[in-house]
Structure 1
Amino acid sequence: MILIFVFGLFFALEGKQFKGIERLPDSYDMRKARPGVLGPIRNHERCNAYWAFAASTVFTARYNIKCHANITHSVQDLISCDLSDNACIRGNGKDTLDWIQKVGITDERCFIYTSWTGHVTKCIQMCHNGSNIVRHKYSNITYYNSPDDAMYSVMNEGPVVMNFPVDSTFEKYSGGVYAPKNAQFVEVREAALIGWGNENGQRYFIGQAHYGEKWGEGGYFRLSRNLSNDMDFYAGTPKCN
């Protein structure tokens, strides 16, 4: 693999793993750095497919950045068609990214979100508008070795999927820097990592959630970086077609 040195950073031409020489900035926010790239804030309502929302959000932004597009990808396509996960009950973000690499994901106009009721629609053979289904894929998947590697990727390639521990207070989050209060985590959730910051010495990640715009901080949340040892980060490189 050929490496290029630019402005204090080594970048791999194949692109997915790179190591910073200079430290990361104290703060970064994709909403300001790349306005219009992130898809809309969505609300899962009665379908707890956190894995699918995170995966579709990350793919949408990365595809739009790399392919100079303006598409929102279908969360319903993953919920209904991804055989490696369990629809509205539970899923695994890593399996989902593998599914997108092998099978792909279509756009929201083709397969709109219907599982807000908790009912899982069958996988479609034609788009809702009668056109043929076109699915976009990842060419490769990257599992980041450290939060810093994931954060460099957010700056250069787009958001990454992060999974993180939560307790029962997370769904009632209304602002501030979140950290589970209960040492016995209830479960692991997944969301799109879109930035980070520092508030009075308290470092945090910025995540895009899927509880609607009235939840949290306009649909987003800040997560304590002290949880990094209990987190995983992963994403892929979209094919443009």
Structure 2
Amino acid sequence: LVIFLAFLAVSEAFKTDSVAEFLSRPAPAFVSKLRGQDLADYVNAVQPFFRANYSKASEERAKQLMQLDTVVPNGKILTTTTVPDIPESFDAREKWPFCKSLGFIHDQSACGSCWAVSGASTMSDRLCIQTKGKDQTLLSDADLVSCCHACNPAGGCNGAWPYFAWQYVMTNGICSGGYPEDENVCKPYPFLPCEPHVGQPHSPCPADGYKTPACKLECQSSYKTKYQNDKHYAESAYYMPAGDVKSIQTEIMTHGPVQAVFIVYSDFPLYKKGIYVPTPGAKEIGKHAIKIIGWGVENNTPYWLIANSYNLDWGEGGYFRMVRGYNAGNIEGWVSAGMMKA
């Protein structure tokens, strides 16, 4: 403990604003063993990029990650010509303000469905963008979670790879969805938010998380359209060239948000605000799928603008920013998307 406290004091004096310098520093062996408040204190002491905050909620959310050994499927890699003038900042919500789905933040609750939630959200955005706002359908993450049996050996609430979801929707389609209380949709998300949330009273989360719901090829009784008649289909599925930041930016500017998966380190569940830069030495604890909607620069640090699925009271209003151009957690290596049939 004495050595740890002494290290904190020294680290505070040697903070750097350079991401490259920070990431190149050797990590003390004890960092991988830090948990809870000790880890938050360490993270806040050694770097200026983001603020860490420990809470019971951070522990709960760490339980709902994809496993580190989640299958990464091979797939088509998009060949793209990059836009010559990529702006310093971009926000899909500002380019396509008529697409309401771009402003929605979802809550995956106590289910490892990040792959499906971010997938259905990205598909909804792209459907709206492709139809120039004429089709505002929110597509069903519940349909993917319960019925995509080919989405990885685990699938459902146990996690799966986003590319599988796009392939599934090409063949099987996806029905309309929405929040748990929505009645005028085919399959709303089945799980309500559960504790703990800031200022939002909810029921406790199940100790072992929610189980994958059974696949039902029908809509809820309040919705009168037949399941098969409610489907939208994807026309294509592809990966972006690994590590090609400009290609990823071009894709977002041209066709809308993309999905990405990154390795989650033990400091990520503690994220409160700022630009997330993984702390050297932090332990790998899982993988997480999210939706990238844009990018920017703050204090000379480039970042991705990302929509998460942890509700509005997490991070920066449900969003977070992650360092761009360093392939942190391989976030620029596992980017996928597709086009919808519109």
TM-score by length of 2: 0.62
For 2:92 and 2:235, how far apart are their aligned partners in 1?
23
Q: Which residue of 1 aligns with 2:161?
A: 92
The equivalences for 1:227-238 within 5 A come to: 227-228=326-327, 230-231=330-331, 232-238=334-340
- The 8 Å contact of residues 100 and 137 in structure 1, kept in 2 or not, is answered as yes
Task: Please list every run of 5 or more consecutive structure 2 residues that lacks an aligned counterpart in the other structure.
Answer: 1-77, 178-184, 193-205
For 2:110 and 2:218, how far apart are their aligned partners in 1?
25
- Runs of 4+ residues over 3 Å off in structure 1: none
1:131 counterpart (225, 231, 236): 225
More strand by share: 1
Query: Within the alignment, does 1:54 sit opposite 2:153 as a pair?
Result: no
How far did 1:162 drift?
1.1
For 2:80 and 2:188, how far apart are their aligned partners in 1?
36
Structure 1 residue identity aligned to 2:138 = T
Q: Which residue of 2 aligns with 1:204?
A: 303
Structure 2 residue identity aligned to 1:239 = K
Task: Please list every run of 5 or more consecutive structure 1 residues that lacks an aligned counterpart in the other structure.
Answer: 1-15
The 1:34–1:237 alpha-carbon spacing in structure 2 relative to 1, beyond 3 Å, is same
Structure 2 residue identity aligned to 1:139 = E
Q: Which residue of 1 aligns with 2:96?
A: 34
Query: Within the alignment, does 1:82 sit opposite 2:152 as a pair?
Result: no
Which stretch has the larger CA shift, 143-152 or 188-197?
A: 143-152
The 1:139–1:76 alpha-carbon spacing in structure 2 relative to 1, beyond 3 Å, is same
Which stretch has the larger CA shift, 17-26 or 44-53?
A: 17-26
Query: Within the alignment, does 1:162 sit opposite 2:226 as a pair?
Result: no
SS at match of 1:239: coil
- The 8 Å contact of residues 49 and 88 in structure 1, kept in 2 or not, is answered as yes
- The 8 Å contact of residues 93 and 103 in structure 2, kept in 1 or not, is answered as no
Rg larger in structure: 2
SS at match of 1:187: strand
TM-score by length of 1: 0.87
Identity %: 27
SS at match of 2:310: coil
- The 8 Å contact of residues 266 and 283 in structure 2, kept in 1 or not, is answered as no
SS at match of 1:215: coil
More helix by share: 2
